[in-house]
Structure 1
């Protein structure tokens, strides 16, 4: 197993770090306070060729893989943005890019992939529902036939970046639960315009990740055209899983980057802070040990995530690795941000020193995009061979 990065991979990481440094801690603090989409940062990421790293070259991408994407996301997040930067990759190169590249028609790819890679259009994905939550197979949003297309009705919740998106990947039932023999049947994917008659959305007030809005979305007899279906009509479940599994890798990379950034801020502060003596508090084991523990856990999550990404790129199974990496990374990032705040004392609670934002943002990923409990269910069943518990 080769743990060394290639020259090309190192160059990508250096480019990501350089772009990330242009939009450092003060930029992200201001965006968080304004609850504003980071347009300038995303434009710079796209201009540097980092958005399409894992997308096909014929559409303007780099034709690399999830390993390179994970390395880039990690570097961008560690430079100042924190975990929420990973969400920019979720909504665009994953929800939009992977869905189109793998399952889109030639016309759909030609029309949307180059614009997505350039940063001219943003995506969002409407999946989660109030009465389904993690149990995606219980979604009730329904697209009924209407001439050569469909009419979509239903409700989604916790949908990221809707106000700043032009396109929405919608997961809906095209056959109702009482019409199928298996719950995985009758699910379809569509890409529609966010600005469309019958589609409305309402912002959700939340603790963190304020640079990307979270919304409740309502579909009231929304027209879907025949060329807006993505992949297999009625057979979109397995295609959806392909999209969601890559999301795990991006999430973990963002958490590793955020945790690394938090620890760096705490260490820098502790080297300067002196209390009760002339020695910096960084010399105290009570400060050192929690930060060292969080660092060790982040490094383990990072290695597992890069393994998952590598296996994904090679077409090998990677679900267990991606899930375990996300589980440990979310816990480690929570610990890293919490312990960093503690090491900084009262200043860790101030917005001036940035760690509180990293703490607020990272907390989301203990239960999103998949909760710790569901990951443990997966590990118990698939890795340990234990019976289904839910």
Structure 2
């Protein structure tokens, strides 16, 4: 069993890190304070070719796997940008997967190169106010009309909709009560974000202000038939293709944020002198930091295992969900401990750890709750009866 990285994977880490080091704490502090999308960072990553790491080579991508994407996003999130940096990019890692798998040759050629180049930015309209994690209960409806569909409905927590020019939109084309099964009658589109028909309202939130989250109101939006992905009514199964990679990347990013916070806390503990000695000499400081290191390392192993399983075509649902669960918890605990290690200064924006703590919270909440993950594992691994 080899836990080492290949020279190519090491080169990915170093290349991404070199770009990330150009954007220091002050840059991310300003983006957060101004609620400003990190366009300069996004452009630099696009120019480096990193936005297409998992995209097909024939459309400008690198054609690499989820393992390489996880290494990339871990590196992105570890250099002070946290989820602000990660969320500016990671949609490109897993979001377009339904296009890659189920799109036509014409659709791939039309859409993927612009995503890889960073000239198109996409947002994802999946979640709805009255449905939440119960995706089969969405009510946004696409009515078939000559040449395409007319869409009406609402979405919530749609990230990057303030800056996006494209939207991947999940709708119903058959109402739930009329479908043979709840998962049927759902259709997926990738189309222009027509702001004359789509109103985007920013949601003020706890952290990650640099990357917007929004309420989206869709009023009689026309979508041409050529912007439908795959068959009408099968969109739910297409979305499932991207769920495991998404969970793996969220876990990788959470571990990275935790490692960043732990590194900052360890440095502070070595340098901060109270009562004539560094506070890191006290076991009350040492032991919690050491436990955070152990937790982060354990979570990272699960992230890498899940990524390896996915890239090798093996079932990985339990492992991908566990990577997200453990990564988010370990990242959160490390960030919380970093704030406590800094004491009062941990509450100050100067030392960054307060922002990392606020940002890593989202990894515990989204895109799936810890309770749903535990129910999934209980049912699929431990063979317990379905609880919901």
Global fold match (TM > 0.5): yes
RMSD between aligned residues? 1.1
- 1:104-253 correspondence to structure 2 within 5 Å: 104-253=103-252
With 194-203 and 2-11 compared, the bigger mean Cα shift is at 194-203
Distance 1:359 1:365 in 2: 11
- 1:283-362 correspondence to structure 2 within 5 Å: 283-362=281-360
Counterpart residue number, 2:52 = 52
Distance 1:360 1:366 in 2: 11
- TM-score for both structures, normalised by structure 1: 0.97
Kindly indicate whether the alpha-carbon contact (under 8 Å) linking 2:38 and 2:85 is maintained by their aligned counterparts in 1: no
Question: Equivalent residue of 1:102, what SS?
Answer: helix
2:28 is the alignment partner of 1:28 = yes
Question: Equivalent residue of 2:63, what SS?
Answer: coil
Which sections of structure 1, spanning at least 5 residues, go unmatched? none
Question: Equivalent residue of 1:153, what SS?
Answer: strand
Kindly indicate whether the alpha-carbon contact (under 8 Å) linking 2:52 and 2:92 is maintained by their aligned counterparts in 1: no
How far off is 1:70 after superposition?
Answer: 0.2
Counterpart residue number, 1:276 = 275
How far off is 1:86 after superposition?
Answer: 2.5
How far off is 1:118 after superposition?
Answer: 1.1
Question: Equivalent residue of 1:155, what SS?
Answer: strand
Kindly indicate whether the alpha-carbon contact (under 8 Å) linking 2:124 and 2:159 is maintained by their aligned counterparts in 1: yes
Question: Equivalent residue of 2:95, what SS?
Answer: helix
How far off is 1:196 after superposition?
Answer: 4.1
Distance 2:230 2:224 in 1: 14
> Which deviations, in whole Å up to 9, do the C-alpha atoms of 1:294-314 show, x marking residues without a partner?
111111111111111111111
Kindly indicate whether the alpha-carbon contact (under 8 Å) linking 2:66 and 2:307 is maintained by their aligned counterparts in 1: yes
2:98 is the alignment partner of 1:92 = no
How far off is 1:28 after superposition?
Answer: 0.8
Distance 2:236 2:46 in 1: 30
Question: Equivalent residue of 1:344, what SS?
Answer: helix
With 286-295 and 151-160 compared, the bigger mean Cα shift is at 286-295
Counterpart residue number, 1:384 = 382
How far off is 1:293 after superposition?
Answer: 1.1
With 23-32 and 98-107 compared, the bigger mean Cα shift is at 98-107
Question: Equivalent residue of 1:220, what SS?
Answer: strand
How far off is 1:110 after superposition?
Answer: 1.1
Kindly indicate whether the alpha-carbon contact (under 8 Å) linking 1:85 and 1:254 is maintained by their aligned counterparts in 2: no
With 368-377 and 240-249 compared, the bigger mean Cα shift is at 240-249
How far off is 1:146 after superposition?
Answer: 1.0
How far off is 1:93 after superposition?
Answer: 2.9
Distance 1:149 1:281 in 2: 66
How far off is 1:3 after superposition?
Answer: 1.1
Kindly indicate whether the alpha-carbon contact (under 8 Å) linking 1:150 and 1:224 is maintained by their aligned counterparts in 2: yes
Distance 1:51 1:294 in 2: 31
Question: Equivalent residue of 1:83, what SS?
Answer: helix
How far off is 1:236 after superposition?
Answer: 1.4
> Which deviations, in whole Å up to 9, do the C-alpha atoms of 1:120-173 show, x marking residues without a partner?
111110001111001111111110111121111111111101011111000111
Which sections of structure 2, spanning at least 5 residues, go unmatched? none
Kindly indicate whether the alpha-carbon contact (under 8 Å) linking 1:21 and 1:80 is maintained by their aligned counterparts in 2: no
